[in-house]
């Protein structure tokens, strides 16, 4: 098993008892520790307790939507979250990403693919390299990114980013003045090739853009290069 995910504790929030039981057995066979919440009632408390490494969160739950749970969790924690969405439901996927989900997978899913997504998210959370020659600290204007410590500051003030946003920022900074294509960012940050229908990188880039603009009072931006990708630059 990947050393970055060995023994990782997964919180699975899904009301499908039969599917969740099978998935739990599969994940445990892959070396994960799994706790299942079938209705989401304890999901926020559990996800923000520090006892878990990653959350798998179904959008459709009986008492509260996964989207609402995601919103509440993100108010208190940056724990990696993978959303399970209905097949073809682009709206829930985009909303989930906009609210800070790290990745998503449509149902019905292929269990080995979910494991691959879990491992990729955990590698990113544990500080695995997202690009070549990662430096201890990367600077741009008043921005300081300490990659090993996974800390971001602007003029000394902390900037709170999710796992995926942090890795996206590091990847963009490593490209310097060059434009990073969506495929390069998807491979470096999400661990998979970019597909034209996948808006994940675009939504994460927009989330990162808003946080950097707010933190820097407009001094830093994520520039969109139409039809190509993105570039991080300081404003004059």
Residue 187 belongs to domain with CATH number: 1.10.10.10
How far does CA 177 lie from the centroid of its chain? 25
Asked if 49 and 121 sit in the same domain, the reply is yes
Same domain, 107 and 145: no
Which of 67, 98, 125 is at the close of a domain?
125
Within this chain, do residues 144 and 107 fall inside the same structural domain, yes or no?
A: no
- Name the least confident of 116-130, 147-161, 182-196: 116-130
Region 161-188: mean pLDDT is 93
Residue 216 lies in a domain: yes
* Alpha carbons 94 and 98: distance in angstroms, whole number: 6
Query: 109 and 18, same structural domain?
Result: yes
Q: In the chain, pLDDT over 90 holds for what percent of residues?
A: 66
- Per residue in 39-82, pLDDT (tens digit) is 888 899 999 999 999 999 999 898 899 999 999 999 999 899 99
CATH of the domain at 95: 3.40.50.2300
pLDDT attached to residue 203: 94
Element (H, E) at 210: helix 200-216
How many whole angstroms separate alpha carbon 209 and alpha carbon 125?
20
Residue 234 CA to chain centroid, in angstroms?
Answer: 24
Q: What is the mean pLDDT of the chain?
A: 89
Overall number of domains in the chain = 2
Q: Which domain holds residue 200?
A: 137-234
Indicate whether 37 and 108 sit together in one domain: yes
Confirm whether 2 is domain-assigned.
Answer: no
Residue 146 sits in the same domain as residue 76 = no
């Amino acid at each position: 098993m990947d050393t970055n995910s060995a023994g990782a504790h997964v919180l699975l929030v899904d009301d499908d008892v039969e599917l969740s039981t099978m998935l739990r057995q599969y994940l445990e066979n892959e070396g994960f520790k799994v706790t299942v919440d079938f209705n989401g009632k304890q999901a926020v408390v559990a996800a923000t307790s520090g006892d878990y490494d990653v959350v798998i969160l179904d959008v459709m739950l009986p008492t509260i939507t996964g989207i609402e749970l995601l919103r509440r969790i993100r108010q208190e924690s940056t724990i990696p979250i993978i959303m399970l969405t209905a097949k073809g439901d682009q709206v829930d996927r985009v909303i989930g990403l906009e609210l800070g989900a790290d990745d998503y997978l449509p149902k019905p899913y292929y269990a080995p693919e979910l494991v691959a997504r879990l491992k990729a998210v955990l590698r990113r959370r544990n500080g695995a390299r997202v690009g070549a020659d990662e430096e201890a600290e990367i600077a741009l204007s008043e921005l300081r990114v300490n990659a090993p410590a996974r800390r971001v500051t602007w003029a000394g003030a902390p900037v709170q980013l999710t796992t995926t946003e942090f890795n996206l920022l590091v990847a963009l900074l490593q490209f310097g003045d060059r434009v990073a294509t969506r495929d390069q960012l998807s491979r470096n940050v999400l661990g998979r090739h970019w597909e034209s229908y996948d808006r994940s990188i675009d939504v994460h880039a927009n989330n990162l853009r808003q946080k950097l603009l707010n933190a820097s009072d407009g001094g830093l931006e994520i520039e969109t290069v139409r039809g190509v990708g993105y570039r991080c630059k300081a404003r004059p």
